[in-house]
Amino acid sequence: MLEATVTVEEACWVATPDGELPVDIVLHKGGKRIAVCCRPANIESNSDQDALMLVYGGFDVLYRCSVDASSEAMLDVAYALMQAHPVWFSAFGRLSLGRRASAFMVGAALSAKDKQRRLCGPFGAIEALRLHVASDWVNAFERALRGGGRMSLSA
């Protein structure tokens, strides 16, 4: 389903000050890199660690997904990624995902604004941390470097 120039890595690790953190899938196209991290829908995300993975992994975008183990959930995640990065997918891939994604996800993607940070589907949510948008990750990154505590600013 991906464009021929896109390469895929599975089960990668990113070295951070918090230790090595897992990344489920890394997509490469030219000099761009997209990370996809999935977790069971009942486990909360840790945006501080996501920010560390984004920066130390050198990703352009990190997507965090809440999914169950169903193939429908994975198709919806792939469809959401395709909506955000259509040129990374072949024409056949875009058509196939459009036919196989849930009606809820297709409707949500059509009504969502371009480059929206959070997209919800019947399986949960897909959240994006974009390196070029500081408000997505800087505060979480600074919290992670401080160990989660607040530090007073000094001159």
91 Cβ partners below 8 Å, 6+ apart? none
What's the rounded Cα separation, in Å, for the pair 16 and 19?
A: 5
Closest CA to 46 of 143, 152, 146: 143
Per residue in 121-130, pLDDT (tens digit) is 666 678 889 9
Query: What is the amino acid identity at position 30?
Result: G
CA distances from 73 to 39, 76, 95, 126, 141 (A): 12, 5, 18, 11, 29
Q: What is the pTM of this model?
A: 0.82
What is the amino acid identity at position 130?
R
**Highest-confidence segment of 33-42, 84-93, 139-148:** 84-93
Measure the CA dihedral 68/70/76/77, to 10°. 50
Q: Tens of pLDDT along 89-147?
A: 999 999 999 999 888 888 777 766 544 556 666 666 788 899 999 999 999 999 988 87
